[in-house]
Chains A and B, each alone.
Chain A
Amino acid sequence: MSAAAAAPALAGRPGRGVGHALELRGLSKRYGSFTAVDAVSLGIERGQFLTLLGPSGSGKTTILMAIAGFVAPSEGAVLLDGRDITALPPERRDFGMVFQGYALFPHMTVAENVAFPLRVRRLSRAEREAKVRAALDLVQLDRFAERRPAQLSGGQQQRVALARALVFDPDLLLLDEPLSALDKKLRAELQDELKALHRRVGRTFVNVTHDQEEALSLSDQVAILNHGRLVQMGAPEALYERPRTRFVADFLGTSNFLRGQVEAAGGGEMQLRAGETRLRQAGGDLPPGATALLSLRPEKIALLGAGEAAANQVTGSIAAWAYLGAGFSLTVRTSDLGALRVALPAWRAPIAPSEGLPVRLGWAADAAVPVLEDGDAA
């Protein structure tokens, strides 16, 4: 609270570098024989937006609750700026938190809700009022100060929860599925707002979600979790472009998986063989004879016209297709590589898709990425 309390208002502080650095060191949580979180270590720098992403049961919420202090880890430590805070109760950590479903106090007005963290910190009335006004301004809800939460829409309630979590200048803001209760359009709107807010207040944000789009669009860093383990962590584009395992490639966006035998390797390239088809793949250092697993995004596959060539080519026929407005989603059956998902822009598409139509697909040698099977990744 020391440095934060001295700051006059939340907005208008420098954009980066405030907030706190957070580190998890070998964090585990077991409930009886069930391991919810399994030796997770990760760090986040000051002022960054970290998202913990994973399917339900991946342990992401348990990790957030351990950071907040509601869950005592079975092993490991939570460090704030290098200081061990594992044993601190939640109210002494001074983290802002937006709960799933917002958890606004129904018996208080919006202003009273936002003033709650200031009231329990015994701030003077004048100080309280000024900060509440600034926080409500920040989320553009100044006109709703005297309403009760039940009189607000979901999006407005979400903003009240944000204002309440930010009003006491916490250096770390924890968000537990903050957008999951909203409909799709509102969610996209609030995603932009949340991102702008992060830039404005410059605090360290830790977000939990199962929505991969939200994770990609909001975060500086994404930590992907599965079965309580940290699978991969990195910037969104790094995770999308260079997934380390099959799970990451599959969970972030959609992906085709190609399996082939390594025939030769060298010069930064592998030659693979899948049935009668030969593939050229950039990168990868598997010895000849090994089986390689490649992740190939649907949008990186092109439809080849007559006379066009690509490093990798395969023929097949359309088994199914769907029109999605911006593009077509094709499922092309091939004899050696199975069914391939292809994303085709609808604007001036070279073909009119129909079932059974023969097509020729091609992709560059660096379009696909070698990934590990999930069993090998641990």
Chain B
Amino acid sequence: MPRDAAVLPAAPAARSGFALPRETGWWLLLLPAFLLMTVLYLAPILQVLAISVTEPAPGLGNYERLLTSPGLQRVIGTTLRICLITTLVSLLLGYALSYVIALASPRARRWWLLGVLLPLWISVLVRAFAWVTLLRRQGLVNEGLLSLGLIEAPLPLVWNEFGIVVGMVHYMVPYAVLPMLAAMREIDPRLLAAARGLGASRGTAFRRVFLPLSAPGLVAAGLLVFIVSLGFYITPAILGGGKTLMAAEWIKLQILDLVRWGMGAMLATMLVVTILTLLGVFSRLLDLRRLFGGGR
């Protein structure tokens, strides 16, 4: 909505000078929100940026470590890998779910949505521990598989990357479903009928019509899931068992345990930059979607 926002402040200028004080009064109403954002949000972020180039010594020394420290590179690599896998799996599960929900009857749709949103209301801590209980060596999954005779020794399902991905996917699926469902609900179901009436099989109609029309939602969901995944802290900390280190936990380690504020602030800044870059791409894709006529 940047275009609309740009129009608003221009409008009072066109009026006579008398109206100006009143217009200023309206703008005062925005002040609390503006101050809140600046003082509690923008200022700390700028401070983090400042720390990253001043601690322990002024300069780009901390950023240099991105290129020279194998440990840091491993953490970044692990984070990107886990986030990518989480995003892909969440998109896959979320797409199937959204497809079913979008084509369901209104009544069934309400129940499906409730089922998707329910996990969002449960604390992430509770969910992480629940996964530990399910996935550990004496957990329900391993015990079940053992008693069925499908495996001979317990599988390492938790305190590794697999466990982290399971926990993160569980958390991210609703975030994947909502944008994709919104995009799919905009698709006229008659288009699928039209495709089949014109000679396309079910598969072709899906591939040539439904998939391209739902692509904006898919991309939006992918970016959203990836961005949120980058900042995961509690889930990897609990399900990773301290052995698999991701960015957020690494930052906490630098700042609270090793008291290397500069290093922690540097990686935090990098995360913010990555997210802003992705958001830039994200907003352009949303514009593309409008170009397509919003799926109508």
Contact = CB atoms under 8 A, between A and B. Distances in A.
B292 interface: yes
Contacts of A89: 196
Interface stretch (B145-153, B161-169, B198-206, B267-275): B198-206
Contact of B293 (A70, A99, A148, A165): A148
B198 A107 contact: no
Given A91-B201, A120-B204, A70 B193 contact: yes
A327 interface: no
B35 interface: no
Contacts of B188: 101, 103
B197 A101 contact: no
Interface string B280-296: 00000000000011011
Q: How many of chain A's residues touch chain B, expressed as a range? A: 20 to 34
Q: How many of chain B's residues touch chain A, expressed as a range? A: 20 to 34
Interface in B201-217: 201, 204, 208-209, 212-213
A116 B195 contact: yes
B190 to A, nearest CB: 4
A336 interface: no
B190 A117 contact: no
Contacts of B208: 116, 119-120
Contact of A103 (B191, B292, B293): B191
A120 B212 contact: no
Given A99-B194, A116-B208, A91 B200 contact: yes
Contacts of B193: 70, 90, 99, 103
A222 to B, nearest CB: 23
A119 B190 CA distance: 19
A91 B293 contact: no
Interface string A322-342: 000000000000000000000
Interface string A157-184: 0000000110010000010000000000
A94 interface: yes
Main secondary structure of the interface of B (DSSP, over half): helix
A174 B208 CA distance: 22
Contacts of A120: 195, 198-201, 204, 208
B197 A99 contact: yes
Given A120-B198, A164-B198, A150 B293 contact: yes
Nearest to A168: B199
A144 interface: no
Contact of A107 (B197, B199, B212): B212
A149 interface: yes
Interface string B167-190: 000000000000000000000101
A94 B296 contact: no
- B193, B199, B212 interface centre (most CB from chain A within 10 Å): B199
Given A148-B293, A150-B293, A116 B198 contact: yes
A91 B199 CA distance: 4
A106 B199 contact: no
A251 interface: no
Contacts of B295: 106
Interface string A135-163: 00000000000001110000000000000
A208 interface: no
A97 B213 contact: no
A95 B199 CA distance: 8
Contacts of B191: 103, 105
Contacts of B213: 105-107
Contact of B198 (A70, A97, A101, A148): A97
B293 A117 contact: no
A103 B191 CA distance: 5
A90 B196 contact: yes
Given A101-B190, A120-B204, A106 B293 contact: yes
Contact of B190 (A103, A116, A168): A103
Nearest to B188: A103
Given A99-B190, A105-B191, A94 B197 contact: no
A46 B295 CA distance: 38
Interface in A57-108: 68-70, 89-91, 94-97, 99-101, 103, 105-107
Contacts of A97: 194, 197-198
A161 B128 CA distance: 53
A119 B191 CA distance: 16
A91 B212 contact: no
A101 B190 CA distance: 9
A150 B296 contact: yes
Nearest to A151: B293
- B196, B197, B204, B213 interface centre (most CB from chain A within 10 Å): B197
Nearest to A150: B293
A121 interface: yes
A306 B188 CA distance: 64
Given A91-B196, A103-B191, 15 more contacts: A70-B196, A70-B197, A89-B196, A90-B193, A91-B200, A91-B201, A99-B190, A99-B194, A103-B190, A106-B293, A107-B212, A120-B204, A120-B208, A150-B296, A168-B199
Sorted nearest first, the 8 A-B pairs with minimum C-beta distance are: A150-B293, A103-B194, A97-B197, A117-B198, A120-B200, A103-B190, A106-B293, A90-B196
Interface of A: 68-70, 89-91, 94-97, 99-101, 103, 105-107, 116-117, 119-121, 148-150, 164-165, 168, 174
6 contacts: A70-B193, A70-B197, A89-B196, A119-B208, A120-B201, A164-B198
